[in-house]
């Protein structure tokens, strides 16, 4: 996380159990295990200092891991040839790089509020020559009406909860529900739409989207936690 992400750091401190952020795109579970074995980090926290009374820490990632990206593009979404994918809140760019490698999408567009993360993503696009299919914009999704009206696949991985205030979250969801309306286009959310909207007491507009079934019983190696995959939901715009 960036030092400038004070609101998100604060939100994490408000969680019920002590929580650490380990970015799932940058560190696999195996790497975290090695760091724990070396003593560089811990999966537990002390309940009563100096004793053996410890409890597991909660871990949170603000990015999809590589195996989640592989699952998303190879098992959840259809062939994306000729399609435009938009990742709302593209952060490190994980979804964009995953889409570049694991799909045939023609355009992969990232929208990101943080200027520092936009700079980082543009450095990566330049360094690894990915700019032929990927573009990143420093923009609030709520300013992107024209783009959203023409988007085929919209990806929203827990975009708002830690990063903007509830009143702004409500405004952003309403904007998306009014704007992302192209018939047959796909929406991927983590967690489910129901869970995100219920928390904000925003009703899901009837007739906007239908949920499509996803086969979660795919083996992607022992590093993949099926519980994380089950958080990925797919919808189609009516």
Ligand X SMILES: C[S@@+](CC[C@H](N)C(=O)[O-])C[C@H]1O[C@@H](n2cnc3c(N)ncnc32)[C@H](O)[C@@H]1O
Q: Which residues bind ligand X (CB under 6 A)?
A: 25, 62-64, 87-91, 94-95, 111-114, 117, 140-141, 157-160, 163-164, 172
Q: How far is the CB of 44 from ligand X (least distance, A)?
A: 25
35 contacts 44 by C-beta, under 8 angstroms:
no
Residue closer to ligand X, measured from CB, 89 or 197: 89
Percentages of the chain per state (helix, strand, coil), in multiples of 5 = 35, 20, 45
Q: How far is the CB of 29 from ligand X (least distance, A)?
A: 16
Residue closer to ligand X, measured from CB, 87 or 237: 87
Q: How far is the CB of 1 from ligand X (least distance, A)?
A: 9
E strands of 89-165, at which residues?
107-112, 134-138, 153-157
Q: How far is the CB of 34 from ligand X (least distance, A)?
A: 23
Query: Among 21, 86, 62, which Cα is nearest to 163's?
Result: 62
Residue closer to ligand X, measured from CB, 9 or 45: 9
Residue closer to ligand X, measured from CB, 63 or 179: 63
Query: Among 206, 162, 183, which Cα is nearest to 13's?
Result: 162
142 contacts 177 by C-beta, under 8 angstroms:
no
Residue closer to ligand X, measured from CB, 12 or 209: 12
Q: How far is the CB of 88 from ligand X (least distance, A)?
A: 6
Q: Is 235 helix (H, G, I), strand (E, B) or coil?
A: strand
């Amino acid at each position: 996380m960036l030092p400038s992400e004070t609101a998100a750091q604060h939100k994490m401190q408000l969680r019920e159990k002590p929580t650490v952020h380990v970015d799932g795109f940058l560190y696999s579970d195996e790497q975290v295990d090695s760091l724990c074995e070396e003593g560089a980090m811990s999966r537990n926290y002390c309940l009563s200092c100096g004793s053996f009374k410890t409890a597991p820490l909660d871990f949170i990632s603000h990015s999809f891991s590589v195996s989640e990206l592989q699952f998303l593009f190879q098992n959840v979404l259809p062939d994306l040839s000729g399609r435009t994918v938009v990742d709302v809140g593209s952060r490190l760019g994980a979804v964009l790089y995953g889409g570049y490698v694991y799909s045939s999408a023609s355009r992969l567009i990232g929208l990101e509020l943080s200027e520092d993360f936009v700079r980082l993503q543009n450095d990566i696009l330049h360094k690894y020559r990915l700019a032929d299919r990927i573009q990143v914009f420093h923009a609030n999704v709520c300013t992107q009406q024209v783009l959203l009206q023409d988007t085929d696949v919209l990806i929203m991985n827990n975009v708002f909860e830690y990063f903007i205030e509830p009143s702004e979250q409500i405004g952003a969801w309403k904007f998306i529900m009014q704007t992302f309306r192209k018939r047959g286009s796909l929406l991927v959310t983590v967690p489910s739409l129901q869970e995100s909207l219920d928390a904000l007491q925003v009703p899901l507009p009837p007739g906007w989207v239908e949920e499509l079934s996803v086969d979660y019983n795919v083996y992607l190696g022992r590093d993949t936690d099926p519980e994380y995959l089950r958080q990925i939901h797919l919808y189609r715009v009516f």
